[in-house]
Amino acid sequence: MENRILCLVNAALMMIMLVPLSDSAQAQNVSSTPVFFVFGDSLVDPGNNNYITTLAKANFPPNGIDFPLGATGRFCNGRTVADVISQKVGVPYVPAYLNPNTQGFAILGGVNYASAAGGILDATGANYGGRISMNRQIQQFQNTQQQFIQQLGSQAANQVFAKALYFFVMGSNDYINNYLQPRSRSSASYNPKAFEALLVREYSQQLVRLYNLGARKFGVFNVGPLGCIPSQLNTRRSPDGKCIKFINEYVKGFNAALNNELSALRVRLPNATFIYGKAYDLVVARVNFPAKFGLTVVNEGCCGIGRYKGAVACVSGFQPCANREEYLFWDPFHPTDAVNEQLGNAFYSGGSSAIIPMNIKQLIAAP
């Protein structure tokens, strides 16, 4: 009799566990920690390009030499800025959308759609073959939304979307893998100011599209000083390792126009918060005052070959530098883990010299 009663109790407990939570209860469970959705390019790609046919891949050593999981597809010796921010918040690294394991419960902390060579414009990055543009990343986000709704119900899922943080690292490829490419159709069709206006207009429409899909907390990071990256120092044959001025002028124009557009969107879109990360300023400070940030080499890649290690990206068989924590750049294009940590910390809890009108920590706490 005792055993029979015990069996009945256990059966009852199992039935209780199988009863689905209400929408509000499930939303509370999911939103107890921040949910992140990341849109961008190779600066924050965690491995999406592993799953497409493209020349823009980094899923082989020595990439990932200082990352616990090894060469995952990150274009770095270690973490991306998005990884650092995840660590600061105390949540797992946001998984790549195209990873087959990114489904079910795995998506409930957020999803990363970033793709190396991807840009604001669909045509950007064609020189690498496959890539996922910003417009396609938004389509992927819509697929994720449907999965959230299936798991949580509409009401709970919509609460999650409204409270989630949306990060954007876009625009670099629209210059280095579009406008600045030899025989570029964009440069033939647009002068620099017209191209800048085209990018900002398209980017703004994409942000509004996500707002209409339920996004409310936007972290938009501007474009870094592309004239200082080893790739451009090599291509433009910098005689002294100094940044290429005209390229940085293009970027500064785009960044200023983007900042103005975000100010307009704050007024135009009710209940939306837009923060603007000053990646350009932070990287230029490290180029100009390296010792202040523990750096010794700021115009050469740690892994690569050619002038300034900027001619060929880091591939299997290359021997990277030993003192990686002293390098600004890992390869011809991307910062090292050490610099990503500095940038991530500045974006997370820094002041107005790094991010405005509030930092990520404050954005998380905002209603």
Q: How would you classify the pairing of strands 165-169 and 36-40?
A: parallel
| Bridge partners for 345 per DSSP | none
41 in active site: no
Give the distance from CA 152 to its chain's centroid.
Answer: 26
Q: How would you classify the pairing of strands 273-277 and 355-356?
A: antiparallel
Single out the catalytic residue among 41, 133, 174, 334.
Answer: 334
Single out the catalytic residue among 42, 133, 172, 231.
Answer: 42
Q: If you ran DSSP here, which 8-state letter would residue 95 be given?
A: P
42 in active site: yes
Single out the catalytic residue among 41, 45, 83, 331.
Answer: 331
- Which of 120, 119, 37, 44 has its CA nearest to residue 75? 44
Q: Which long-range contacts (CB under 8 A, 24 or more apart) does 264-271 make?
A: 265/204, 265/207, 265/208, 269/208, 269/211, 271/216
**Phi, psi of 252, deg, nearest 5:** -65, -40
SS (H, E, C) 268-320: HCCCCEEEEECHHHHHHHHHHCHHHHCCCEEEEECCCECHHHCCECCCCCCCC
174 in active site: no
Q: What is the CA angle 85-90-95, rounded to 5?
A: 65
What burial letters (b/e) apply to 137-164, b meaning 16+ CB within 10 Å? bbebbeebbebbbebbbeebbbbbbebb
Which distant-in-sequence residues (6+ apart) come within 8 Å of 146 by Cβ? none
Encoded amino acid at 367, one letter: P
Query: Max CA-CA distance within the chain?
Result: 91
CA neighbours within 13 Å on the CB side: how many for 292?
8
- Which of 208, 131, 198, 125 has its CA nearest to residue 166? 208
Residues serving a catalytic function are 42, 331, 334
